[in-house]
Amino acid sequence: MEERRRSQKFDSADNVLSMASWALWAIAIVWFFSFSVAAPEISAPHAIANPSLSMIIAGFFCSALSKASPKGTWSTWRSLWQLLFAGAFGVMAATFVLLQLRGSATWSQQQSMATVGMIALCGGVSAGAVLTCPGTNSKPARWSSSYFGRLTLVIDGGLGLFLCFQVFVQAASLLGDALGLATLAVSILPLGIISLGMVFVGTDSELVGALPSAVMVHMLGFLIHFFTEGRTMAYASAAAALLHLALYLPFPASDPLSNPFHVSMKKDLMSFYKLITEPVSGWGEENES
């Protein structure tokens, strides 16, 4: 019974993290349609510093992480990260409260409603993450032996944190704008929290779950920079995407089953193959009769 209660605490925290991914996608959409045109422009070397893009990627990362450690097998860093995650959403909620107080007299009804929606989403996720944080009573899974995969994601996380710093140093120029503080919050906090996650992921399931988010960052970077003027960054992003995708190859050749990325991809391909080749229950019997 005690083990069941312990497991349920972690499952509740994972459910909140899964819901947070939907909240991040909703916030990204609301920001894009209601605030992005009026928001001050951020100068950054990579397109992922765009608030809507960073929140979309953060949503995918949270969704994957919520499935990576079922039944209380969280790594030791997850509880602290969950509290930092809650704090990030709390700060975002506070910035939109200030935005509502300062701009409600001059804003349209649509902008006011969008701000209230942001407060509700960010505040709700922050409260849920705090209330369901299970503490440190976890039973972590074994650390991954894919050292190159781990190093790749640590570098991704480090670059993401450096990008956050580059945005943060623009705070003085951004805060003069009415939307400056909110722009700073939605640009830095989602990107910063997933960058920290990238640095800390270490089990096979955590690495496998985090890799697609990193691939999406580099592929989006390639597409956006290629069709703008950032060709150098586009080629760098393409090379990084290919390097990440290479993790799915059957290496080492002597024991490809020791590669968690390859094993995961092979499992997904087999599931897809069965889905398209095996008849749906009921259809096969009807056709044969």
Cβ atoms < 10 Å from Cβ of 169: 8
Across the 289 residues of the chain, what is the mean pLDDT of every consecutive 10-residue run? 83 95 96 92 89 96 95 92 97 94 72 92 96 86 93 97 94 87 94 97 96 97 89 94 97 93 95 82 48
How far apart CA 10 and CA 287 sit, in angstroms, is: 46
Phi, psi of 38, rounded to the nearest 5 degrees: -85, -15
How far apart CA 266 and CA 272 sit, in angstroms, is: 10
What is the pLDDT, as a whole number, of residue 289? 44
What is the pLDDT, as a whole number, of residue 4? 82
pTM of structure? 0.92
What is the pLDDT, as a whole number, of residue 286? 46
What is the pLDDT, as a whole number, of residue 288? 47
What is the pLDDT, as a whole number, of residue 7? 86
How far apart CA 88 and CA 219 sit, in angstroms, is: 26
What is the pLDDT, as a whole number, of residue 162? 96
In the numeric block, the tokens 């975002």 are attached to 92
What is the pLDDT, as a whole number, of residue 120? 96
How far apart CA 21 and CA 116 sit, in angstroms, is: 19
The HSE-up count of residue 191 (CA atoms within 13 Å, CB side) is 29
What is the pLDDT, as a whole number, of residue 78? 95
Residue 144, both tokens = 């991954």
What is the pLDDT, as a whole number, of residue 200? 97
What is the pLDDT, as a whole number, of residue 173? 87
